[in-house]
Amino acid sequence: MQTDFSAVLRRGTLFAVLSVLQTLALAQGDPFGTLAAVPPIAGVRILTAPCQPTDVSKPLELADVVEVALCNNPQSRQAWASARVQAAQVGVAQSAFLPSLSASASVARQRTETALGDDATTRRGAAIGLDYVLFDFGARSANLENARQLFAAASFNRDATVQSLFLSALQAYFQRQAAAAALEASRLSEKAALESLNAAEARYRVGTATPADRLQARTAHAQAVLNRISAEGLQKNAQGALANVMGLDPTRPLQLAPLPPAKPGADFEADIARLIEEARALRPDLAAAEAGFRAAQANVDAARAAHLPTLSLGIGAQASRLSGQPTYDSSTLGLTLTIPIFSGFSTTYKVRTAEALADLQSARRDQVSLQVALDVWNAQANLVTATQSVKTAEELLESAMQSERVVAGRYRAGVGNILDLLASQAALANARLQRIQAGYNWFISRASLAQALGALDAGLLSALFPPAPAASGRSE
């Protein structure tokens, strides 16, 4: 029995087309599953779950602020979108390993004028073809590796953006709390200055104080009012910065829950060399730089493979109909070997470009590695300084409070002078501000060290504010 090879080939090609189309339909737009590798935007509470709405009308805890910032700030969406772009590019690189199918159809009306009259004919045609690269000396594999490493770099950059935004939210939160505490301290100083002014006025009326005492008390009170007005402005600025990092308009009213004072229990002095090694193993920006270098190396392999031959399989079938004439059908099956011979040295310079880019990425990776070490060094030093500053500021505040009470009592009793009173009040106001700033600087320094180590996550919130121990329920 004689086999009609052309008919079998056409049926086989059509079956392949239908099979691929069915597979693509079942894949629902992500046949290789690359986009599914990018998780949804998540907050700090459950990093693997999509973001959930947070009620910002209630007093916000630190975790609430970080949650809204990670979920709502446009930087998060940009980082996730960049990761999805590179994930899609992985799919593009994987598609090169599959055959390509194409189909075409045509209809043409031809009219010919002769001495005998007009002759009109209609030509109809259809064709389908399949091309499949069988061997290319690793060009497709190199391109796929390049895409995968770029996707890894984008994923690590996303993690770095999350940690950076995490730290920005922490800083904005603590600065807002510090501004509110500084405003309250300025109000206490204004109240104390007003009491001193009233005392000076009373002593002046009875003749135990000079006009200079009264004028100095008025000056101190005016300065205290000015300081309070300045503190109100700083609080508004901190409020706007906090709303901005949370992805909200500055006009959005925000209330923060009360924050306990910083009470560091350790000086956090540790082996700095060990911390640097830990940071180099954890920092996402260094991992992104390493992935970028590997992508550049894969790009060099892909550029070199462009010098080498490519072997492809081609299958095609076409049919043509011409009115009034016999049908014409044809089919093809063959191998194509493409050998690049000369391209005006463009391929050579593409290889040189790829090699130079790999050297550039290597230098960038080394620079990031050095920056990681410097970040850890500075963050550790800042934390040690902040820890010591908190303890010293507490002692300073206690001393200033006692001094102000003694001097104020002496002045009201008529045995002190106004200069000593105003100096003690100024020292107390300064001590209050230093204690406030030292406490919040410690919080920020602790978070900055975690970010420098690449370990800024939800666990830090529990470390900063451990939950209160549960009551035992037993009566003593």
DSSP codes of every residue in 205-229: HTTSS-HHHHHHHHHHHHHHHHHHH
Is residue 443 classed as helix, strand or coil in its secondary structure?
helix
Tokens read off for 347 = 């391929």
Q: Tell me, what's the pLDDT at 6?
A: 46
Positive/negative CA dihedral, 291, 296, 299, 300: negative
Specify the pLDDT at position 472. 46
pLDDT tens over the chain, length 476 residues: 444 434 444 455 445 544 554 554 444 578 888 888 888 887 776 555 678 888 888 999 998 999 999 999 999 999 999 999 999 999 999 999 999 988 888 888 777 666 666 667 788 888 899 999 999 999 999 999 999 999 999 999 999 999 999 999 999 999 999 999 999 999 999 999 998 899 888 888 888 878 888 899 999 999 999 999 999 999 999 999 999 999 999 998 899 988 877 777 665 566 889 999 999 999 999 999 999 999 999 999 999 998 899 999 999 888 888 766 666 678 888 998 999 888 888 889 999 999 999 999 999 999 999 999 999 999 999 999 999 999 999 999 999 999 999 998 888 887 778 888 889 999 999 999 999 999 999 999 999 999 999 988 888 887 777 665 544 444 33
DSSP string, 325-364: S--EEEEEEEEEEE-----TTHHHHHHHHHHHHHHHHHHH
From the CB of residue 474, how many other CB atoms can be counted at a distance below 10 Å? 5
* pLDDT, position 292: 96
Question: What's the burial of 137, exposed, middle or buried (CB within 10 Å: 0-12/13-18/19+)?
Answer: middle
The pair of three-digit structure tokens given for residue 313, joined into one six-digit string: 């399989």
CA torsion sign for 85, 88, 94, 99 is negative
**What pLDDT sits at residue 403?**
92
Query: How big, in percent rounded to 5, are the helix, strand and coil portions of the chain?
Result: 65, 15, 25
Question: What's the pLDDT at 8?
Answer: 42
Q: pLDDT at position 277, please? A: 93
- Domains annotated for the chain, with CATH where assigned, are 32-96+143-307+348-463 (1.20.1600.10)
Long-range contact pairs involving 265-272 (C-beta distance under 8 Å, separation at least 24): 266/387, 267/384, 267/387, 267/388, 268/380, 268/383, 268/384, 268/387, 268/446, 268/449, 269/384, 270/380, 272/376, 272/377, 272/380
- From CA 77, how far away is CA 71, in angstroms rounded? 8
Q: Assess contact for 321 and 14: CB atoms under 8 A.
A: no
What pLDDT is stored for residue 474 in this prediction? Answer: 44
Which residue shows structure tokens 């001193």? 196
Backbone angles phi, psi at 218, to 5 degrees: -65, -40
**Residues 288, 289, 291, CA angle at the centre, nearest 5°?**
65
- Give the separation between CA 428 and CA 422, rounded to whole angstroms: 10
> Which residues neighbour 65 within 8 Å (Cβ) at sequence distance 6 or greater?
169, 172, 173, 242, 246, 256
Which residue(s) pair with 329 in the sheet?
319
| pLDDT for res 268 | 58
Q: What kind and span of H or E run contains 296?
A: helix 284-305
Closest CA to 283 of 364, 164, 168: 164
Please, which residues have CB within 8 angstroms of residue 435's CB and are 6 or more apart in sequence?
Answer: 390, 393, 394, 396, 397
